[in-house]
């Protein structure tokens, strides 16, 4: 579905595609989730027009999370929680067929402009030996506080050499260093919701 939608936009701009290009999967969006029925629709809606594949690892939801993900065309993988974020993220890798992976969390969103910039990066400017950091933005908690902004590695080439390590605060850095991948910062922004200010 998503590949066809992107091909339609390409043709509308006067491009031509071979049959192999039409079936080529460039970008997968991957998430690990649990009980995210309230936040998942907005997150998936923000990426569905640029994703050739969506992979959702459900670690034990008891709400409508899996159903919602399937409504957006996602491949849903039921994966019992093993007390390890790395295990869940690495499980997603086995079902990813695209050349690039964007990791996103439920509750995060790409703006329309940033989604197109990201797809442009993947299609035209990306380097398969490079992992890309994006800006993660958290809105102000109160009117007199500041918004928070950090960079995280979220866009990576699909490579067997890139796997997460660490039970909590999982990281790709050992794999990046061991595989001699480069890290480059992009100007793409992922927007988090104000719920991250809620200690619950």
pLDDT tens digits, residue range 95-135? 999 999 999 999 999 999 999 999 999 999 999 999 999 99
17-46: pLDDT as tens digits: 444 444 579 999 999 999 999 999 999 999
pLDDT single digits (tens) 46-69:
999 999 999 999 999 999 999 999
Q: What is the pLDDT of residue 145?
A: 61
Read off the pLDDT of residues 165-185 as tens digits, 9 standing for 90 and up.
999 999 999 999 999 999 999
Angle among Cα 72, 30, 178 to the nearest 5 degrees reads 165
Q: Please, how many CA atoms are within 13 Å of residue 87, restricted to the half-sphere of its CB?
A: 10
Torsion, Cα of 142, 197, 107, 157 (10° steps): 110
Structure confidence at residue 142 as a pLDDT band (50, 70, 90): low
Q: Who has greater pLDDT, 95 or 142?
A: 95
| Sequence-distant (≥ 6) Cβ neighbours of residue 143 within 8 angstroms | none
Q: How many CB atoms lie within 10 A of CB 186?
A: 19
Predicted pLDDT of residue 20: 46
């Amino acid at each position: 579905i998503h590949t066809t939608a992107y091909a339609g936009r390409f043709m509308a701009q006067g491009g031509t595609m071979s049959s192999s290009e039409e079936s080529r999967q460039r970008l997968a969006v991957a998430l690990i989730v649990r009980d995210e029925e309230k936040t998942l629709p907005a997150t998936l809606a923000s990426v569905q027009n640029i994703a050739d594949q969506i992979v959702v690892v459900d670690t034990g939801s008891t709400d409508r999370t899996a159903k919602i993900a399937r409504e957006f065309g996602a491949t849903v993988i039921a994966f019992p929680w093993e007390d390890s974020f790395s295990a869940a993220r690495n499980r997603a890798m086995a079902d990813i067929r695209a050349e690039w992976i964007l990791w996103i969390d439920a509750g995060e969103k790409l703006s329309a402009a940033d989604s197109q910039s990201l797809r442009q990066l993947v299609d035209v400017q990306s380097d398969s030996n490079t992992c890309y950091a994006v800006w993660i933005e958290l809105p102000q908690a109160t009117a007199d506080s500041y918004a928070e902004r950090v960079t995280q590695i979220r866009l990576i080439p699909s490579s067997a050499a890139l796997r997460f390590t660490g039970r909590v605060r999982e990281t790709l850095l050992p794999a990046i260093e061991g595989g001699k991948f480069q890290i480059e910062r992009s100007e793409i922004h992922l927007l988090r919701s104000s719920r991250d200010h809620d200690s619950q």
